[in-house]
Amino acid sequence: MSTRNAALFHTVVNWHEMPVTQVRPGVRRRVYATDEVMICHHELDIGMTLNPHRHEDFDQLVHIAEGRANYYVDGVAHDMRAGSFLLVPRGSEHYVEPTEAPCVNIDFFVPPRADLLP
């Protein structure tokens, strides 16, 4: 385990105790990362500023934990509700548009995104 952060093991964390970052109007983010995976918890407001973008270096697994949203991938809307998962392939333009509040979107990144690490 010499290359892994041993302090992360056997440690309980809670979303509600993590710092919140206001990403843009209508989007709040909490991030948990290990050496191998990153999980981003997003609280999304209806009418939030949309952000079409793409990642060239990694796939993104999306989970809608609460509410409902249209998740767009390469211009195609996917109707997602609480409990839904969607795998977004690297290089695809994507963004989320919440349609039912409260909307919680949880993203999984492997490997962790360097631009979101503290």
- Give the separation between CA 63 and CA 103, rounded to whole angstroms: 11
Structural domain boundaries, residue 102: 28-116
pLDDT digit string (tens) for 40-58? 999 999 999 999 999 998 8
**Residue 105, domain member (yes or no):** yes
pLDDT band at 1 (very low <50, low <70, confident <90, very high): very low
Query: Has residue 87 got a pLDDT over 60?
Result: yes
Quote the pLDDT of residue 5: 82
**Residue 17, domain member (yes or no):** no
**Residue 101, domain member (yes or no):** yes
Average pLDDT over residues 7-29: 93
Placement of tokens 């990694």 in the chain: 58
CA 74 to the chain's CA centroid: 18
**Residue 18, domain member (yes or no):** no
**Residue 97, domain member (yes or no):** yes
pLDDT digit string (tens) for 92-116? 999 999 999 999 999 999 888 888 8
CB 110 within 8 A of CB 37: yes
**Count of structural domains, the chain:** 1
Q: What predicted TM-score, i.e. pTM, was given to this entire model? A: 0.90
Query: Has residue 3 got a pLDDT over 80?
Result: no
**Residue 23, domain member (yes or no):** no
